Structure 1
Amino acid sequence: MTIPTRRESRREQHKKGSSGAKVTLRNTLIAYAFMLPFLILLVVYHTWPVFFGTYLAFTEYNVITPPKWVGVDNFRELAQDEQFWSGLRNSLKYILVVPVIQGLSIAVAMLVNRPMKGIGFFRTAYYVPVVTSFAVVGLIWTWMYQQEGPVNFVLQALGLMDEPKSLLNNPVTALYAVMFVTLWKGIGYYMVLYLAGLQTIAPELEEAAVIDGATRLQVFWNITLPGLRPTILVCSLLSTISAIKVFEEIYVMTSGGPAGSTYTALFYTFSRAFVDFKFGQAAAAGLVIAIISIFFGLINFRITRGGKADA
């Protein structure tokens, strides 16, 4: 004989619901209490500078006197400033690094993803440039690019150069020389991200494709690459934004020279702010760079189909 369970009254159900709601509210408050220090830092060092910088873009400001509202005058000056357009062209040219660095990073990630002896050493070796200070990297490569440096020796040995010349002092080659350093330093960083992406792809899919007679190229194109699409979106976004706002490499290696051939948009912003003390015009240039970065970000989303993996 079964004993019927007592049916809860509405008052008891209400008490249970109230206690559950109190527990949920308490847990939520505790979670926000733990996040509060980070949220404060986020507002102080990220959110507030974004809004204040946007406001400064429409003002005349030199730190000494209070900001003076000038409307769109700063943007008019930018439109007539050939130095800004030259820097912007070089920044957009720098985007050529993005597809090269992504392709090489995927290739290296697939190479070090294989189980082989000493693979840990190779992974570390590829990542060492990432954790090396760019001040050190810039000085080393500046020496290597000199007229008597090893880069000239190798190019002459391969028959690619007739006589030694400093690549950083040549307006034709300076920007591409700096771009190569960015490429060399960044491969290890994106390799780690792609390596993580490769390990999320089920090996059974590739094994089944091989059993069905697919070649390695077909497996890569139809299984590996679609499976890496979320990682490709993240890496392409990061590298595109980094290319548009390139500054550290230029500052350390060329300071915008020779003859302005490596002068970029962000270097222009730095010069206007901390050399000429025209913070309003610098903020306007920074706002233009941010809009361009958003535009190329949308292009990346379109190309990678929003980062949705097929595998």
Structure 2
Amino acid sequence: MTTTPRRTSRREQHKLGATGARKSWRNTLIAYAFLLPFLVLLVTFHTWPVIFGTYLAFTKYNIISPPEWVGLENFRTLFADEQFWSGLRNSLKYILVVPVIQVISILLALLVNRPLKGIGFFRTAYYVPVVTSFAVVGLIWTWMYQQGGIVSTVLKALHLYDGPSLLNNPATALTAVMFVTLWKGIGYYMVLYLAGLQSISPELEEAAVIDGATRSQVFWNITLPGLRPVILVCSLMSTISAIKVFEEIYVMTGGGPAGSTYSALFYTFSRAFQDFQYGLAAAAGLVIAVISIIFGILNFKLTRGGRADA
């Protein structure tokens, strides 16, 4: 004997639907309750400063008196200031660090991705500079760069450089600071590329080897395309960091000698916290942000949007 299952009435269906809707709303409210502290912090310390800073770029403001709307006056002053253009040129020169740091980081990631004995020690050693304060790093490298320091002594012994401290020479100061940025950042990007390498299916590489592909062919046709999303992220972050370089300059040279390491963000810092011209500083920051966006778009174009199958 078979029984026919009882059909759910429309009233029961309505009740079930209403119960499900209430549960859905309750879950949504709980989710937003957990997100609320983060959203408050995000708006307070990110969104609002961006909006207010953009507004200040069109005002004259020195903290003491209220902001006074001046339109494009700050930008006219900014573009007529040779010191700003000098800092911007140095910031753009700093972008030369980006391709070097990416290439070295990929090579190191390939090296430490091997299952060798004690490889964990090398991974940690390469990452130690990343977590070291730049105040400490800057002081150490400043000591090594000065006359009689390790770097100067080695360069003199190799007959590569025999002059004042690298940081006191306008011809070498920016390059010396760029090398410190390179040294400190390699470990960070190496870890990202290492994660990218480990996400690539080993079966693809094994199949290519079985088909007779060489190591270089596997790298160029499988490994590198698989790393393209990571390359996009790393190149974006390093490019923006290069344009906004400040800590290294502040700790090691203070913008000298003779303005040879004066960066665009250092100009913003000087106008805001030394001259108290916050409107002009905000205008400079807005220009730097626009330039960062332009280079971000270029990174997307060069990496084809980070698509691994492109």
- Alignment TM class, shorter chain as reference: over 0.9
User: Contact 1:240 / 1:296 at 8 angstroms: preserved in 2?
Assistant: yes
Range with greater deviation from structure 2 (123-132 or 204-213): 204-213
Q: Which residue of 2 aligns with 1:262?
A: 261
AA matched with 1:113: N
Distance across 1 between alignment mates of 2:205 and 2:236: 27
Structure 2 CA distance for aligned equivalents of residues 2 and 102 of structure 1: 71
Distance (Å, rounded) in 1 between the aligned partners of 2:230 and 2:66: 45
CA contact (8 A) 1:148 1:164 kept: no
**Which residue in 2 is equivalent to 1:4?**
4
Distance in 2 (alpha carbons) for counterparts of 1:141 and 1:121: 23
Find the counterpart in structure 2 of residue 209 from structure 1: 208
Amino acid at match of 1:30: I
Quote the residue 1:100 is aligned against.
100
CA deviation after TM superposition for structure 1 residue 158, in Å: 2.5
Q: Cα offset for 1:164?
A: 4.0
1:70 alignment partner in structure 2: 70
Residue type of the partner of 1:297? G
- SS of the aligned residue for 1:199 comes to helix
1:308 aligns with 2:300: no
| Distance in 2 separating the partners of 1:169 and 1:128 | 28
Q: Look up the SS of the partner of 2:297 in the other structure.
A: helix
State the distance in 1 between where 2:30 and 2:230 align: 33
Partner of 1:182: 181
- The AA in structure 2 aligned to 1:146 is Q
Give the aligned partner of residue 234 of structure 2.
235
2:198 counterpart letter in structure 1: Q
TM-score between both structures, scaled by the size of structure 2:
0.98
Tell me the amino acid that sits aligned with residue 159 of structure 2: G
Whole-angstrom distance in 1 between the partners of 2:26 and 2:185: 44
Is residue 142–residue 253 contact of structure 1 (8 Å, CA) maintained in 2? yes
CA distance, structure 1, for counterparts of residue 188 and residue 40 of structure 2: 29
Distance 2:59 2:19 in 1: 54
CA distance, structure 1, for counterparts of residue 261 and residue 308 of structure 2: 38
Does residue 251 (structure 1) correspond to residue 275 (structure 2)? The answer is: no
1:59 aligns with 2:59: yes
Asked whether 1:116 is paired with 2:113, we answer no
Report deviation, 1:194: 0.6
Residues 14-33 of structure 1 mapped to structure 2, 5 A cutoff: 14-33=14-33
Secondary structure, aligned partner of 2:160: coil
SS in 2 for 1:93: helix
SS at match of 1:100: helix
CA deviation map 1:85-143 (0-9, x unaligned) = 00000000000000000110010011000000100100000000001000000000001
Corresponding position of 2:291: 292
1:113–1:195 contact (8 Å) kept in structure 2: yes
Amino acid at match of 2:176: A
What is the distance in 2 between the residues matched to 1:10 and 1:288? Answer: 62
Measured after TM superposition, the shift of residue 10 of structure 1 is 1.5
Residue 236 of structure 1 and its aligned partner are, at CA, apart by 0.6
Instruction: Give the Cα separation in 2 of the matches to 1:148 and 1:164.
Output: 11
Aligned to 1:282: 281
Tell me the distance in 1 between the aligned counterparts of 2:297 and 2:179.
Answer: 26
Structure 1 residue 149: Cα displacement = 1.0
Measure the CA separation in 1 of the matches of 2:14 and 2:224. 54
Q: Distance in 2 between matches of 1:110 and 1:7?
A: 63
Q: Deviations over 1:205-248 (max 9, x none)?
A: 11111111111111111100110111111111110010000000
- Separation of aligned partners in 2, 1:158 and 1:2: 97
**Secondary structure at the residue paired with 2:76?**
helix
Q: Is the CA contact (8 Å cut-off) linking 1:153 and 1:164 kept in structure 2?
A: no
1:164/1:148 Cα in 2 relative to 1: closer, same or farther (>3 Å)? farther
SS in 1 for 2:199: coil
| AA in 2 matched with 1:182 | T
Figure out how many residues of one structure are paired with residues of the other and give that number. Answer: 310
State the match for 2:126 in structure 1: 126
Deviation readout 1:232-289 (Å, 9 max, x if unpaired): 1111111001000000000000000000000000000000000000000000000000
Q: Which runs of 4+ in 1 moved over 2 A?
A: 156-159
| Percent of residue pairs identical | 80
